Amino acid sequence: MFGYARDFVRSRRGSMMPVFIIILTPLLLAVGFSVDYTSAVETKSNMQNALDAAILSVTTLPKTTPLADRETSLKQAFAANGGQGTAKLDSFVVAADGTATATASAHYPMPTNFMQIARIETVEVGVASAVRKRPALVQTTFKVTKVSGYWNKTMTLYGTKFGDTVAKPLMTITYAYNNYGDPKGYGTSIVSTINGSTTTKVQQQVCTTSTVKNFSSLPSGAITQTSGSKKYVTTCADTFYPSNGAGAVIDVSQMDNLYLQMDVPSGSPKVLKSNDPTTSNRLYIGTSTTTMPEVATGQTVDIFTAVPCGQPGYQAWEDGGNPVPADVSNADFFYTVQGKCDFNQRPSNTVLTQ
């Protein structure tokens, strides 16, 4: 028997091709399946990236966008980002508090190459994405509470709309000293909203100062000052336009960036900005008139998070007359700001959850 086997191996007659074909066929199938599998994995990765980009993009559309239009935008973004197959916006819901959630999916019957030997002509590739967008600032209301100092100054709220590159003024608070000569110095403040070339006055605060012999029987809210033997009493009266107004109500839902700027022509520095790390430390942000810490030196302020939602926030500026850091009692420019938060179009507030 061993002799026959030895002879078969040594035999030079006939062909070994059938043996090679039998051995080679499963090897080719294994290599081919591996190539198709690798292609499917790469396709799935590309589709996932395209769908993630697409679902993030539809969260920046206005809240009133119909679901069908939002899905059309999703499909266009999916294709533009190299996605293959068909994308679908499965859901898009905005809760009562403004929180938005969305889910999307995409499917693609990827044609095979080597798998067709095994009669597998396509491989179904599917991906899914989900996002959550938290509510954010869509409206701010500024109201001046107390401004003092011998230097005239103006605070301006600037905003940059989505797609724009130039910031435009949205609101101003101007202050003019009344030149009475009291130690702290008080005057007249005017709060105005700005819409393009139209400026509308919404609040005026006029502070009047007089000397008195003593501080008895003072009106409510009176500010007292003493300098040597002189005693000063200052009263401030607010007028709103309209009379039931709350101050400067600013729609910031279309704004991608916001910052505050304080211009003090007689100061040093003359221009202070909330987004400038060299001057933002003259801004105070807090939860009450006394709890108002100063912005740390070298930091910038995100106005979208600095304004509280649904409750008043307190802010103040030191206009340059005193060195910083310093306690908020040294500040000269006090105002309240209250925010309204809801669904927003800012992509930075959107996170992938799947």
Question: In whole numbers, what is the pLDDT of the chain averaged over residues?
Answer: 89
Residue with tokens 């501080």: 215
Summarised one tens digit per residue, pLDDT across range 79-112 is 999 999 999 999 999 999 899 999 999 999 988 8
In the beta sheet, which residues pair with residue 350? 133
Does the pLDDT of residue 131 top 50, yes or no? Answer: yes
Residue with tokens 């499963």: 26
Give the total residue count for the chain. Answer: 354
- Please give the single-letter amino acid code of residue 161: K
Residues ≥6 apart with Cβ < 8 Å to 185: 148, 149, 150, 177, 178
- Please give the single-letter amino acid code of residue 341: C
Identify the pLDDT of residue 20. Answer: 47
Summarised one tens digit per residue, pLDDT across range 50-62 is 999 999 999 989 8
User: By percentage, how much of the chain surpasses pLDDT 70?
Assistant: 90
Token reading at 120: 């597998």
SS3 54: helix
Identify the pLDDT of residue 353. Answer: 85
- Say if residue 333 is exposed, middle or buried (CB neighbours under 10 Å; 0-12, 13-18, 19+): buried
Identify the pLDDT of residue 345. Answer: 85
Taking alpha carbons only, the member of 189, 193, 191 closest to residue 203 is: 191
